[in-house]
A and B are shown apart, each in its own frame.
Chain A
């Protein structure tokens, strides 16, 4: 038994080249060379969460319901996103636009829009299904919360913030346009008629030019979301939906 053990106990010999001289002398600390080299290279380690996470531009993060340039919603409540969803995370109810309450161009708008982020797997099939590009995904991924209800995002949580030239829906479509002009991008901002309509119906609306705080150059739109709409977790941290971070 002992014989057998001694037999298998041979001395280790490396088959790598065995340098001699200085190189041979430094062999035991050669591994530190990598460390030393990286002292002089750019840092790739991210100090998340003390600094923002650096995600890829097309990262599948939280959804956003976009608006046309005059502030009308792009969502038509067609439920194709809900149909495409493999996790049954999206719930939509459509309704008719009326002359008194035009939320989106055309006949139909999404009255109820919910995404359950406890179910969502961020696969992006919903945004592929969207026929009006109303639904896109942002880079926002910090979604956690203490309640189930809090992770079911409602339409007002998901709607894109107002940008310059936009007026909060509902308001009529730009005069002389149909949903086709909106879809082809020919509506560039609100018209005086639309402003007049909102002024007549909701004089206190925050998005009217006279009710807005004084602008200094381009201010990120995150400041313009109304006080009535609860800001979702981390909403300030995605801007334009292009490459995230603060």
Chain B
């Protein structure tokens, strides 16, 4: 939306070039192949990709080129040139296959050579039907092969990881995958090996390839899983492969391109709002691909966006409402279930008209962080208007009041803030409580694009692989005390000096809420350094929930629920006389209150109890009544009294608000009779005697538009949390360490269920400690981490150089390490670590 003058291309550096007799003017440095594209001439190509550096590997784009020599006379190059590597020069004359027989002959020759070793297995190849090589061979190739010898064969397929399969016979060595891995993802785990006919793509793993003395010289890069091609972005190599050499295990042989109906959509997996394409066949999703959206995800998505969709249609999908009868959940009709839900909620809010009303203690609402903007708005409105409470919180993660004030003051209703493009261009980026790769997904790819040109600082316990690939500088912080590190950035500190460069950005993650004072310190630092702040949460619905007011202290548009004028403005728009003015409880407090029987009922959306440190199942048991709006038969749904089925993202339309504040609307991919949360809440409200007006996406968007953003006086005040004292150097002799933890991108989150191939690419769960801590506590092999309550986590220890002492890092929800459920602690809390009993 920024249309500043600096984005207008300079018009002074144009060069004149003639392609196929058509004279055109293009910017200096433009490749011939791009200049031809601009005037609608297509030159065949395989290795060329607009987002990758030129390679000239496949030679398919050969054209005849002539350019003026020193004497000004046109001199033709003696042989055809690769148009994907040669920039245009003034006065150049290019003749493509359309006008030059020489170029056409060269291209046909290259095509014939490419097909020499290419197997004739198109009928079994997943790329068959959408294969550039197949298309080009059909349109430009020979009808009959002249090749009579035996083709080179390889073992097929070679599993680069549990998800990515490599068929080396089909490979035409265009190097798109290796260039993507090196340039875009920074995971250079695959590369070209050997020479001549035996040249092939492979991982640096001698056991797999059998190098025969052709092994790589350098040390092989391997992560802790021992799996060489372990990248969060590996799925993109499949999509850009111009042949069927790279395929995915999950889509292998599942269907053919002409079976599929493609629907554009937005990924539900993270707050980036990546554009995706959902390919489905007869109502079943078969694969997802990255869509091209230059302002957000360019042409890349994470493997989670691409492969994690099976959860929507597992066997435990709920299709009919369920009502508890005689202690058992049984299927019921919609009218019956709505009546049962309404009866339970009426009793809980004290509107039955009986003496029991006086004892009614109200309802708490937990929408969960995966809702769309419309769903979050419906939950927020349902809580305030129907249930007459502010006890609504979509943040089913570590959160705080300080965070809510920060979100209300600086995030909600601010529209498009820091963008991907600005993040890419920023001279300095400071990451606070944010892991670009694990928690950001495609955010990392944008930062990686500027690696080397951009200074990156990260406030964390150690340099994880993401920041390491960005060449980031670690500002070591003990978890829970990030605030003091951020506050100390001033004066002559190098990080502060760099941060003062105009356009610098401070990225703060959702984990900052678990560290008191951090968001306050970030705001202060941003003011000091004149830097901008971007809040990047993990889940797709977080920003939308903030905008829609699905937080206890926030009303739609960033209005403070404690400000009377703000409440009245919203009440007027909603046609209500007033809105509840009690202070709302946050998610943890709602669960604690229900557990302590201080709340009568709960309305729960897509919340996974294992993500919470509080015991949600106990709260449901103790609450008199629980309504669950769920896609699947989760533990929460199993414990509820009424379960109303709702649509998964592929079966509904709506809007995710990404971390930039950009509205990412998506349509229904697969039309079923499943209803979105907002529609179900509208029906439920109607049953309770209120017209919620959230039946359709259009109605909600019209309401949201008419409400608009809050006036400054209606907003909450920016947080003013005191910066906590620097961490005391606690002993560590008794094994007490401070916990650092975050979610790895591919882990055991609820939305990654049912996809074993993807799970296999995730990183192994390890506990990280500094060398000094490992030595002091004698940690080696498998260690046991316990906290004050609940279970213990046994994971192998990985001693990490440069890590803060007396801190142990665990992945939040990786196999064998479910921190919230097993330990019941959050980052910054103390855990007890014991080495293997030896």
* A residues adjacent to B (C-beta < 8 A): 76-80, 82-83, 93-96, 106-108, 131-132
**Interchain CB contact under 8 A, B124 and A79:** no
Which of B128, B156, B255, B256 meets A107, CB within 8 Å? B156
A-B contact count (CB 8 A): 36
Nearest A residue to B281 via CB reads: A93
CA–CA, A80 and B255, complex, Å: 11
CA–CA, A107 and B119, complex, Å: 14
Given A79-B256, A83-B256; A107-B123 close (CB under 8 Å): no
**B252 lies within 8 A of A80 (CB):** no
- Cross-interface CB contact of A131 among B123, B129, B157, B258, cutoff 8 Å: B123
Can you show 6 pairs from A to B with CB atoms below 8 A apart?
A79-B256, A79-B259, A82-B259, A83-B129, A83-B256, A94-B254
A78 touches B123 (CB 8 A): yes
Complex Cα gap A131–B121 (Å): 10
Is B253 positioned at the interface, with any CB of A under 8 Å from its CB?
yes
Q: Using a CB–CB distance below 8 Å, which chain B residues touch chain A?
A: 121, 123-124, 128-129, 156-157, 252-256, 258-259
In the bound complex, residues from chain B placing their C-beta under 8 Å from that of A80 are 123
B254–A83 touching, CB < 8 Å: no
Q: How far is the CA of A132 from the CA of B128 in the complex (A)?
A: 16
Residues of chain B within 8 A (CB-CB) of A78 are 123-124, 128, 256
Complex: A77 Cα to B121 Cα, angstroms: 12
What's the minimum C-beta distance from B36 to chain A, rounded to whole angstroms? 33
Chain B residues with CB below 8 A from A96, complex form: 252-253
B255 to chain A, nearest CB (A): 7
Is the CB–CB distance between B258 and A108 below 8 Å? no
* Residue of B121, B156, B157, B253 most packed against chain A (CB within 10 A): B253
Bound complex: CA A108 to CA B254 (Å): 10
Across the interface, do A76 and B123 meet the contact criterion of CB distance under 8 Å?
Answer: yes
Given known A77-B253, A96-B253, contact A83–B124 (CB-CB < 8 A): no
User: Chain A CB within 10 Å — which of B124, B156, B252 has the most?
Assistant: B124
Q: Quick check: B256 and A108 within 8 Å, CB to CB?
A: no
A93 and B129 CA atoms in complex are apart in Å by 15
B139 to chain A, nearest CB (A): 18
Between B157, B254, B258, the greatest number of chain A beta carbons within 10 A of the residue's beta carbon is seen for: B254
Counting from the closest, the 3 A-B pairs by CB-CB distance are A78-B123, A94-B253, A108-B124
Q: Within the complex, what minimum Cβ distance (angstroms) separates B257 from chain A? A: 10
Chain A proximity of B598: nearest CB distance (Å): 54
CA distance A80 to B256 in the complex (A): 9
**Docked CA distance A94–B252 (Å):** 9
Q: Could you tell me the distance in whole angstroms from the C-beta of B258 to the nearest C-beta in chain A?
A: 6
Residue of A nearest to B282 (CB): A91
**CB closest chain-B residue, reference A76:** B124
Residue with the highest number of chain B CB atoms closer than 10 Å, among A93, A95, A132: A93
A80 to B253, CA, bound (A): 13
Known: A107-B156, A107-B157. A93 touches B255 (CB 8 A): yes
In the assembly, what is the distance between CA of A122 and CA of B618, in Å?
Answer: 64
- Residue of A whose beta carbon sits closest to that of B258: A83
Residue of A nearest to B157 (CB): A107
Name which of B128, B255, B256 has the most chain A CB atoms within 10 A of its CB.
B256
CB distance from A134 to the nearest CB of B (A): 10
* Closest B residue to A97 using CB positions: B253
Q: Name the distance in Å between B705's Cβ and chain A's nearest Cβ.
A: 44
In whole angstroms, what is the CA distance A95 to B124 when docked? 10
Residues of A within 8 A of B258 (CB): 83
Chain A nearest Cβ from B325, distance in angstroms: 35
Known: A107-B156, A107-B253, A108-B253; 6 extra A-B contacts, CB below 8 A, are A77-B253, A78-B128, A79-B259, A93-B255, A94-B253, A96-B252
- Chain A neighbourhood of B253, CB < 8 A: 77, 94-96, 107-108
Quick one: closest B residue to A131, CB to CB? B123
Q: Name the distance in Å between A86's Cβ and chain B's nearest Cβ.
A: 14
Contacts of B157 in A (CB 8 A): 107
Are B124's CB and A106's CB within 8 A? yes
- The answer to whether B124 touches A93, judged by C-beta atoms less than 8 angstroms apart, is no
Q: Which residues of A contact B128 (CB under 8 A)?
A: 78
Please report the C-alpha to C-alpha distance between residue A106 and residue B119 in the assembled complex, in whole angstroms: 13
Cα separation A131 to B123 with both chains bound (whole Å): 7
Q: Which residues of B sit under 8 angstroms from A95, Cβ to Cβ?
A: 253-254
Chain B min CB distance to A123 (Å): 19
The reply to whether A107 and B254 contact each other, CB–CB distance below 8 Å, is no
Docked Cα-Cα span, A132 to B123, in Å, equals 9
**Separation of A79 and B129 alpha carbons in the complex (Å):** 11
B124 to chain A, nearest CB (A): 4
* Chain A residues whose C-beta falls within 8 Å of the C-beta of B124 in the assembled complex: 76-78, 94, 106-108
Residue of B nearest to A130 (CB): B123
Q: Which residue of the partner chain A has the closest CB to B153?
A: A178
What distance in Å separates the Cβ of B295 from its nearest Cβ neighbour in chain A?
37
Residue of B nearest to A79 (CB): B256
CB distance from B158 to the nearest CB of A (A): 12
Chain B contacts for A108, CB-based, 8 A: 124, 253
In the complex, residue of chain A having the shortest beta-carbon distance to the beta carbon of B129: A83
Write out the residue numbers on chain A whose beta carbons fall within 8 Å of the beta carbon of B129. Answer: 83
Query: How far, in angstroms, from A131 to B122 measured CA to CA in the complex?
Result: 10
Closest-CB distance, A40 to chain B (whole angstroms): 56
Least CB separation from A180: chain B residue? B153
Query: Once the chains are docked, how many angstroms separate the CA of A108 from the CA of B128?
Result: 13
Chain B residues closer than 8 Å to A94, beta-carbon distance: 124, 253-255
Measured CA separation A36–B253 after assembly (Å): 66
Distance in angstroms from A47 CB to nearest chain B CB is: 44
Give the complex CA separation of A82 and B393 in angstroms.
51
A95 to B129, CA, bound (A): 17
Contacts of A79 in B (CB 8 A): 255-256, 259
CA distance A118 to B256 in the complex (A): 24
Find the residue from B121, B123, B128, B256 having the highest chain A CB count within 10 A: B123
How far, in angstroms, from A77 to B128 measured CA to CA in the complex?
13
Smallest distance from the beta carbon of B67 to chain A beta carbons, Å? 46
Question: How near does chain B come to A219, taking the closest CB pair, in angstroms?
Answer: 35
* Chain B residue with Cβ nearest A129: B123
Contacts of A82 in B (CB 8 A): 259
Q: Compute how far the CA of A82 lies from the CA of B124 in the bound complex, rounded to whole angstroms.
A: 14
Distance (Å) between the CB of A3 and the closest chain B CB?
A: 77
Which chain B residues lie closer than 8 Å to A93 at the CB level? 254-255
Quick one: closest B residue to A178, CB to CB?
B153
Q: Could you tell me the distance between the alpha carbons of A191 and B372 in the complex, rounded to whole angstroms?
A: 60
Measured CB to CB, the nearest residue on chain B to A78 is B123
Q: How far is the CB of B134 from chain A (nearest CB, A)?
A: 13
Could you tell me the distance between the alpha carbons of A132 and B258 in the complex, rounded to whole angstroms?
20
- B120's nearest neighbour on chain A, judged by CB, is A131
A184 to chain B, nearest CB (A): 13
Residues of B within 8 A of A77 (CB): 124, 253
Q: How far is A78 from B121 in the complex, measured between Cα atoms in Å?
A: 10
Q: Which residues of A contact B254 (CB under 8 A)?
A: 93-95
The distance in angstroms between the C-alpha atoms of A10 and B123, with both chains bound, is: 76
**With A and B bound together, what is the CA distance between A78 and B127 in angstroms?**
11
In angstroms, how far is the closest chain B Cβ from the Cβ of A83? 6
Kindly state the separation between the CA atoms of A107 and B128 in the bound complex, as whole angstroms: 15
Bound Cα distance from A131 to B256, whole angstroms: 15
Determine how close the nearest CB of chain A comes to the CB of B232; give it in whole angstroms.
25
A93 to B282, CA, bound (A): 12
Give the distance in Å from the alpha carbon of A132 to the alpha carbon of B120 in the complex: 12
Cα A82 to Cα B254 in complex, Å, equals 14
Q: How far is the CA of A79 from the CA of B124 in the complex (A)?
A: 9
Closest CB in chain B relative to A141 CB, distance in Å: 29
- CB nearest neighbor in B for A95: B253
* A53 to B795 CA separation, bound complex (whole angstroms): 74
A94 to B, closest residue via Cβ: B253
Inter-chain CA distance A83–B129, complex, in Å, is 10
| Minimum Cβ distance to chain A for residue B267 (Å) | 26
> Which residue of A has the minimal Cβ distance to B156?
A107
How far is the CB of B118 from the nearest CB of chain A, in Å? 15
A182 to chain B, nearest CB (A): 13
Complex Cα distance, B679 from A109, in Å, reads 43
State the CA gap A83–B124 with chains docked (Å).
14
Q: Which residues of A contact B252 (CB under 8 A)?
A: 96
B128 nearest in chain A by CB position: A78
Instruction: Determine the distance from Cα of A80 to Cα of B157 in the docked complex, in whole angstroms.
Output: 22
